[in-house]
Structure 1
Amino acid sequence: MCSILRKSKHPKKADETTFMMRNGEILLEKLIASSKGKYNPIRSFSVEEVKTATNNFKVQNVITKDSLNEFYKGFLHDRQMSVMKYSDNSLDAYEYCLTNVVFAAQMRHKNVLKLIGCCLETQTPILVFESVKDGSLADRIHRHNKPNFEPLLWTCRLKIAMEIANSIAYLHVGFPRPIVFRNIKLSNILFDEEHVTKLFDLSLSVSIPEDKTYINDMVVGTFGYLAPEYLTSSCCDERCDVFSFGALLLELLTGQRITDRFSSEMGDEEYYLRDHVKKHIENNRFKEIVDPVIVGDGLCNDKEQQLQAFTDLAIECSSKSPTNRPTMVDVAKQIRQLYLSCNS
């Protein structure tokens, strides 16, 4: 961590020095408390470097964004990178940023975006990650009108589901205290140059306290992905991530948004994607809800069986009863089996 706190070769303004000392002290304290000193080396970047890398945060360099932050592609010292800048309009931006750093610095998984370093010279630190390709999984699934759109075929979707399941399972079982991601959604999934799936943005993540099986916290996340018991009780555990992952699987399957609303044939009832899928299955119209990109020229028996198993898993994960949901470890195993059968 001393690399973050090292003195710059260039003179700094008074406010930059103040921010750097305050941010460095708070971040070091949180890192030690959370990781017990076991975290990856983090490099320090100056304000000038992150501005140069992103061409002063040029809008054309935005990869993805939400209400909390904007994520930019960057280039500095002959190296590609990605830069996360938090919104100045969010009152909680500072805490979310520190949470992201604390958890990201502990990650050692090929499917979790690697934190390279951060700039502490601004009021809210700016984070620097490994490079990724333009666009998120949301762009690949929902935005067919984007330039250079590449449709995701069935095998690719299975691979993505498998890699994200692996990363979430890693958060749940790879640490002394389980980490709940709390923000699984298509726009938080990116790809590197080798098409490896990368989960990113741990801003909303929490650790389950010692000797506890859940944490009681304010409700955060994205509508449609939030587990019903979390919404009603504010109690959060690993099964909340399983529910969110089930919603993501339904989007991969159908090409629809989890928040899309559908009307019954009589027009007297409206429901969201999960119930829409269930009703088609109950009426033996399963093929109608599968994304046309997946269907292509038709479905062979093997592919249809894989799709059915995938759908059953998605419905099970997004069960309204948390006790009926599988663990992410079991989910990852099932999707891996599906992926291997697809490539056998």
Structure 2
Amino acid sequence: MLFDQFNNIPMLVKDKTLLYFPIMSPLKLFFLLLLILAVVIVTLCLLGIRTPNLAVAAGVTIAVFTGLVLLQKRRNKKKKQGHFERNGGLLLEKQLSAADGAIEKSRIFISRELEAATDGFNESRILGQGGQGTVYKGILADGRIVAIKKSKVDESLLEQFINELVIVSQVNHRNVVKLLGCCLETEVPLLVYEYIPNGTLFNLIQNDNEAESFPFTWSLRLKVATEVAGALAYLHSGLTIPVFHRDIKSTNILLDEKYIAKVSDFGASLSIAIDKTHMTTRVQGTFGYIDPEYFRSSQITDKSDVYSFGVVLLELLTRQKPIPSRGEGEDVYLGLAQRFQTSMEENSLPTILDPQIIDQTNEGEVIAVAKLAQRCIDWDGRRRPTMKEVSIELENIKMSRGGLTIQENYQSPSCTGEEAVVMIDVYDAWTIGSENVKSTSDAYAVLNNTI
């Protein structure tokens, strides 16, 4: 399992000797020195002690001050080194020295750089907040704008954060957000990413106010889908050790200044040795995007990312949320995937599509993507395509237009042969503790009753 490599990293040991002196800044120590020196001089004058002795007293005071400063520096250095080791710094240094390619371009920042870049992590610099931590907008000394991800002070999230650092540092793809470096000498690790200015795909899909200034056209939707599929195919098939993202969703897809898609947030991701077969685990992911087969069996496969990506395709096709909010319709307990499957089976696809994309000029492409999405969200993982197959099919759809019509009769996809299923080991982030839950729609009802 990936996290076995962290088992030997020494945890920060609290040194009891640090309790003997208060932690003070050099400026405070300087004023303390002046106070001590003033008290000593006044006392000696009152006692009538000769001037040479005042010089000796001043020297002693200065020596004490110097000792306190050196002691504090030593303590701070020891504390930072402890944080560095606990946050996986030794492992990362080993990788940086041994690896080639993208990882050697990453650098280790010092805390002062990032504090200055974010104006002391000022709240006005916050770009977003999530389960793992907060992302700040920063400006480095060389003028580069970056996104700095700061983990929450939570020991249970530390492994996820280090996991993200280790995985993303080895990935080099134009549609995966680029890691510029990290800082590990702070209490919680900091990751420094390229700054992506146009927010998330989720915001673009749901924000109707931008329709006039920036129309969310079908060609843009297809381009984004193709780019994300290419990134996932690369993670699954293009790396020496495959990576399963495990949390693909529209909020984890960022859009740069040219609206090029960037897959982000690898805290839940997993590297898997090629010779690994399977292992049972508890569920991790975002509700509405979780593969129902993974949900039922607790066995994660490469097809789990395919299912999640299929839900993203549905968002692009329908402009609806994976799980509707209360009051958004009669099918509040049915997820988008279930409602989409029903519309396909009942030959009523136009009723669920976003009206903006129903156009005679792109009808064939819309139908082809809808059929692909239906295969991606099949409840049987063996019948889903691989991400490589999805990527190739989307590229082909972009380059050709079919003669299909939206009223065409849709048949449930079938599997022409057994596909190899790779299963892997994961660790838990959250789980719904009910053995009687058999579907995601049932689970949603459970959540409504428990939240």
> TM-score over 0.5 for the alignment?
yes
Deviation of residue 210 (structure 1)? 4.2
Residue 268 of structure 2 corresponds to 204
Distance 2:127 2:236 in 1: 28
Confirm whether residue 143 of structure 1 aligns to residue 207 of structure 2: yes
* Contact 2:242 2:274 (8 Å CA) reproduced: no
Confirm whether residue 305 of structure 1 aligns to residue 364 of structure 2: yes
Residue 126 of structure 1 corresponds to 190
Query: Share of identical aligned residues, percent?
Result: 34
Aligned length: 323
Deviation of residue 139 (structure 1)? 0.9
Distance 1:148 1:200 in 2: 28
Deviation of residue 46 (structure 1)? 1.9
Residue 54 of structure 1 corresponds to 118
Deviation digits for residues 151-209 of structure 1, max 9, x if unmatched? 42111111110000000000111123321110101111112223221111111111223
TM-score between both structures, scaled by the size of structure 2? 0.66
Distance 2:321 2:145 in 1: 31
What is the root-mean-square deviation in Å for CA atoms of aligned residues? 2.8
Pairing partner for 1:314 from 373, 389, 392? 373
Bigger shift: residues 50-59 or 127-136: 50-59
Distance 1:60 1:215 in 2: 44
Residue 99 of structure 2 corresponds to 37
- Unpaired stretches in structure 1, ≥5 consecutive residues: 1-10
Rg bigger for which structure?
Answer: 2
Distance 1:154 1:280 in 2: 20
Deviation of residue 262 (structure 1)? 9.5
Pairing partner for 1:218 from 282, 286, 296? 282
Residue 80 of structure 2 corresponds to 16
The structure with the greater share of residues assigned to strand is 1
Deviation of residue 131 (structure 1)? 1.8
Q: Give 1:258's aligned amino acid.
A: P
- Would the alpha carbon gap of residues 62 and 254 (structure 1) be closer, same or farther in structure 2, given more than 3 Å must change? farther
Q: Give 2:99's aligned amino acid.
A: G
Residue 83 of structure 1 corresponds to 148
Q: Give 1:240's aligned amino acid.
A: S
- Would the alpha carbon gap of residues 80 and 147 (structure 1) be closer, same or farther in structure 2, given more than 3 Å must change? farther
Residue 280 of structure 1 corresponds to 343
Distance 1:110 1:134 in 2: 16
Residue 171 of structure 2 corresponds to 107
Deviation of residue 148 (structure 1)? 9.5
Secondary structure in structure 2 of the residue aligned to 1:100: helix
Secondary structure in structure 1 of the residue aligned to 2:221: helix
Distance 1:148 1:55 in 2: 35
Secondary structure in structure 2 of the residue aligned to 1:72: strand
Residue 239 of structure 2 corresponds to 175
* Contact 2:167 2:271 (8 Å CA) reproduced: no
Deviation digits for residues 270-326 of structure 1, max 9, x if unmatched? 52212212333344432221223434xxx11x4112111111111110110001100
Secondary structure in structure 1 of the residue aligned to 2:262: strand
* Contact 1:63 1:135 (8 Å CA) reproduced: no
Deviation of residue 17 (structure 1)? 3.4
Distance 2:349 2:387 in 1: 25
Distance 1:87 1:215 in 2: 29
Secondary structure in structure 2 of the residue aligned to 1:290: coil
Distance 2:332 2:196 in 1: 42
TM-score between both structures, scaled by the size of structure 1? 0.85
Deviation of residue 68 (structure 1)? 1.1
- Would the alpha carbon gap of residues 70 and 195 (structure 1) be closer, same or farther in structure 2, given more than 3 Å must change? same
Deviation of residue 130 (structure 1)? 1.3
* Contact 1:306 1:338 (8 Å CA) reproduced: yes
* Contact 1:141 1:151 (8 Å CA) reproduced: no
Deviation of residue 108 (structure 1)? 1.2
- Would the alpha carbon gap of residues 91 and 151 (structure 1) be closer, same or farther in structure 2, given more than 3 Å must change? farther
Deviation of residue 261 (structure 1)? 6.8
Q: Give 1:271's aligned amino acid.
A: L
